[in-house]
Amino acid sequence: MPSSLDAVPAVRRIETDRDDVFACEITGHVSAADFENLYGLLEGAYALHNQVDVLVHFTNYDGVDWSEVSDNTKQEGQEHASRHVRRCASIGGPDWVSYFKGWFAPSVDVELRRFEDDEEEQAWAWIGARPIG
């Protein structure tokens, strides 16, 4: 039986002091709908800025339903990220740096870096932004 927590989005936007930084927190289990939401938020950032830096903070991460995310969504997400992302930091969660490096063509100059949970301050400094609120 679903609980009231099932409706809580796994992806939450984090406001920053730079409008060309997209930051979010990913909590718990990520559904296909959560992934669609994440891509929609990123598309909004790309519409405002041709190039963005990204910070993703994983808390209590419990996996992704990759099989439920359409191939088209994955492909579009990859293509758009290749055109718009300059730098991407992840805090905690899985070490996706090697996976995402394979996402970008060798000619795409994007910097990726993973930080441990206790290195959150360093991750924000590396991106060059601070959370607001």
Q: How much is the average pLDDT of 102-118?
A: 73
Supply the pLDDT for residue 7: 56
- Most confident of the ranges 77-86, 99-108, 114-123: 114-123
Residue 106 has pLDDT above 80, yes or no: no
In a domain, 133, yes or no: no
Q: Which helix (H) or strand (E) holds 39?
A: helix 32-48
Percent over 70 (pLDDT), the chain? 83
CB 39 within 8 A of CB 24: no
In a domain, 86, yes or no: yes
Supply the pLDDT for residue 93: 85
Q: How much is the average pLDDT of 78-100?
A: 82
Number of domains in the chain: 1
Q: How much is the average pLDDT of 10-38?
A: 93
Q: Which domain holds residue 9?
A: 4-127
Supply the pLDDT for residue 102: 55
Structure tokens at 85: 């992302």
Residue 107 has pLDDT above 60, yes or no: no
User: Tell me, what CATH number does 34's domain have?
Assistant: 3.30.750.24
CB 42 within 8 A of CB 77: yes
In a domain, 55, yes or no: yes
